[in-house]
Amino acid sequence: MDNQNEQQIGFIGSGPISLIKAYLLAKKNPQFKLTIFDLHNRFGGAWYSDYSPKGHEIECGCHIMSYCPEVENYIEEELGVKMYPFNPAPIFVGKSIKLPYPTKNLIDSYKYISKNLLTLRWGNLNISDNPAIHAKLFGKKNKYPKTGSPELIHALANKLKEAPNVTFKNGLEIESILIDDKVTLKTDSEAFSFDSVYLTSVSKIQTIHKNGQSITVKPKQVDYIHYLLELNKPLNKKMTYWRIMDDEVVHRYTDISYQCHHEENLVLAGIKPDPFHSKSEEELLSHVINHMKGLKLIDDSHQIELIKTHLFPTYYSDKTAREEIAKLDDRLQLLHSTDLMYGMYYMLKEEGEI
Ligand SMILES: Cc1cc2nc3c(=O)[nH]c(=O)nc-3n(C[C@H](O)[C@H](O)[C@H](O)COP(=O)(O)OP(=O)(O)OC[C@H]3O[C@@H](n4cnc5c(N)ncnc54)[C@H](O)[C@@H]3O)c2cc1C
């Protein structure tokens, strides 16, 4: 057997981007041995779940899949997760519209507009290729699993658990990487060697060493916080997901009652990372309640209780470190942590799966 056949491959993080890449690799190369590390004792990264007071599994981190029919079909056929139209469709509330060109003078604006038209681009979106633009221009509806993201994450993790060539190592944080004749991942007390390693732009790595050269990654920690709120009765307006653009405290609301087949009235409020550090939990909660009243989601007859607070830290590596990592060694591959659907779309396209 040659080396190509018996490759040992490591993954730093068991978020969906790593899980999808690992799934494709394991399926196509049953002779590869894959090991997936995560500092948490669960899978799915930012797509994490928890249990409601009545014991329903509900999503707590991410909530929305962009419009991408090819990936929706792939999820249904390959992972066996039935997808339903998001109803009502997600709403983006806010005034800010970002133009993909500078508006400082008319000549510059015209130059950029004509360049965008000629190259079929809107900002960094390619109009002809990117499914997001089809959703925006033609109002297409995105789809979602009936009981939310846990369905998708379990389906993916179960496929990987069934694969005899995949091992999960949870509860282990990789601190540094050493590249010589192997790529070695080090925790505070152990070392694991691989032929190649995948990490994502949110993998929290401190240093990478190769031939006396070292890259110091200073990941920027951003703490996302979600409040799980229990209501005494349904919301006044039917909604699934509202992203709030202009409020300085609230990031989004998600009605997750449908995930428990409407047996519970539950809403998740996403709090923007910065105010969390400067405001007390009571202050934030009262802001959320007033904000929901302002949007007429609730009124004075609603009673609202904070059931749980979820804190999810994400570690974004800086652009310079990402560029250095990309150039350092072919055996260390950087996967871009991005919107789930587009992450999957480009990966599945690259692999010829869609
Ligand atoms: C709060 C929040 C909400 C979001 N909402 C949406 C949404 O609604 N829809 C959408 O499409 N996208 C959303 N995103 C974007 C989201 O990041 C992607 O959808 C997707 O989760 C990216 O997957 P990933 O595998 O790259 O990273 P993540 O899902 O962030 O997973 C990274 C994993 O790596 C692990 N890890 C990191 N460093 C180490 C280490 N040193 N050792 C071991 N393990 C490590 C972490 O514990 C984590 O489990 C959201 C992101 C955040 C933070």
- Cβ of 205 closer than 6 Å to ligand 1, yes or no, is yes
Q: Residues 255-274, buried b or exposed e (16+ Cβ, 10 A)?
A: bbbbbbeeebbbbbbbbbbe
Residue from 218, 268, 336, 340 to probe ligand 1 pocket by mutation (most atoms less than 8 Å from CB) = 340
> How do residues 223-233 score in pLDDT, each as one tens digit?
999 999 999 99
Q: Are residue 173 and residue 262 in the same domain, yes or no?
A: no
- Cβ of 259 closer than 6 Å to ligand 1, yes or no, is no
Q: Are residue 101 and residue 40 in the same domain, yes or no?
A: no
- Cβ of 204 closer than 6 Å to ligand 1, yes or no, is yes
Q: Are residue 156 and residue 20 in the same domain, yes or no?
A: yes
- Cβ of 11 closer than 6 Å to ligand 1, yes or no, is no
Are 154 and 57 in contact by the 8 Å Cβ rule? The answer is: no
- Report pLDDT for 110: 72
Q: Are residue 164 and residue 208 in the same domain, yes or no?
A: yes
- Report pLDDT for 105: 67
Of the two residues 86 and 111, the one the predictor is more confident about is 86
- Please state the atom number of ligand 1 nearest to the C-alpha of residue 46: 29
Work out the angle between the directed axes of helices 16-28 and 340-350 (0-180°, nearest 10): 20
Of the two residues 60 and 142, the one the predictor is more confident about is 60
The answer, yes or no, to whether residue 354 has pLDDT greater than 80, is yes
The answer, yes or no, to whether residue 290 has pLDDT greater than 60, is yes
Q: Are residue 98 and residue 244 in the same domain, yes or no?
A: no
The Cα–Cα gap between 143 and 152 comes to 12
Tell the residue nearest (CA) to atom 15 of ligand 1: 339
Report the domain count for the chain: 3
- Report pLDDT for 123: 61
pLDDT band at 309 (very low <50, low <70, confident <90, very high): very high
Q: Average pLDDT, stretch 212-241? A: 92
Tell the residue nearest (CA) to atom 12 of ligand 1: 339
**Domain final position from 102, 125, 141:** 141
Of the two residues 217 and 137, the one the predictor is more confident about is 217
- Cβ of 35 closer than 6 Å to ligand 1, yes or no, is no
Q: Are residue 322 and residue 307 in the same domain, yes or no?
A: no
Arithmetic mean of pLDDT over the chain:
88
The answer, yes or no, to whether residue 269 has pLDDT greater than 60, is yes
- The residue written with tokens 């939310």 in the block is 148
> How do residues 98-115 score in pLDDT, each as one tens digit?
555 555 667 766 776 776
pLDDT band at 85 (very low <50, low <70, confident <90, very high): confident
Q: Average pLDDT, stretch 29-40? A: 96
The mean-pLDDT minimum among 189-198, 267-276, 291-300 falls in 267-276
Give me the phi and psi of 36, to 5 degrees please.
Answer: -110, 120
Q: Are residue 46 and residue 10 in the same domain, yes or no?
A: yes
Q: Which amino acid is at 255?
A: D
Of the two residues 279 and 229, the one the predictor is more confident about is 229
Q: Are residue 106 and residue 215 in the same domain, yes or no?
A: no
Are 230 and 264 in contact by the 8 Å Cβ rule? The answer is: yes
The Cα–Cα gap between 196 and 200 comes to 14
Q: Are residue 227 and residue 264 in the same domain, yes or no?
A: yes
- Cβ of 150 closer than 6 Å to ligand 1, yes or no, is no
pLDDT band at 95 (very low <50, low <70, confident <90, very high): low
Q: Are strands 166-170 and 33-38 parallel, antiparallel or unpaired?
A: parallel
Q: Average pLDDT, stretch 180-205? A: 96
- Cβ of 224 closer than 6 Å to ligand 1, yes or no, is yes
Of the two residues 13 and 134, the one the predictor is more confident about is 13
- Report pLDDT for 1: 42
How far does the centroid of ligand 1 lie from the alpha carbon of residue 293, in Å? Answer: 31
The CATH number for 190's domain is 3.50.50.60
The CATH number for 310's domain is 3.90.660.10
Q: Are residue 98 and residue 136 in the same domain, yes or no?
A: yes
Are 171 and 158 in contact by the 8 Å Cβ rule? The answer is: no
The answer, yes or no, to whether residue 275 has pLDDT greater than 90, is no
Are 150 and 59 in contact by the 8 Å Cβ rule? The answer is: yes
Q: By C-alpha distance, which of 77, 59, 67 is closest to 150?
A: 59
Percent of the chain surpassing pLDDT 90? 64
> How do residues 313-344 score in pLDDT, each as one tens digit?
999 998 899 999 999 999 999 998 888 988 89
- Give whole-number Cα distances, 55 to 151, 153, 307, in Å: 15, 18, 13
pLDDT band at 125 (very low <50, low <70, confident <90, very high): low
pLDDT band at 87 (very low <50, low <70, confident <90, very high): confident
The mean-pLDDT minimum among 44-53, 64-73, 85-94, 136-145 falls in 136-145
- Report pLDDT for 210: 95
Are 215 and 328 in contact by the 8 Å Cβ rule? The answer is: yes
Q: Which domain holds residue 244?
A: 221-314
Q: Average pLDDT, stretch 137-146? A: 76
Q: Are residue 341 and residue 209 in the same domain, yes or no?
A: yes
Q: Average pLDDT, stretch 281-294? A: 94
How far does the centroid of ligand 1 lie from the alpha carbon of residue 152, in Å? Answer: 14
How far does the centroid of ligand 1 lie from the alpha carbon of residue 315, in Å? Answer: 9
The answer, yes or no, to whether residue 162 has pLDDT greater than 80, is yes
pTM: 0.88
Q: Are residue 16 and residue 42 in the same domain, yes or no?
A: yes
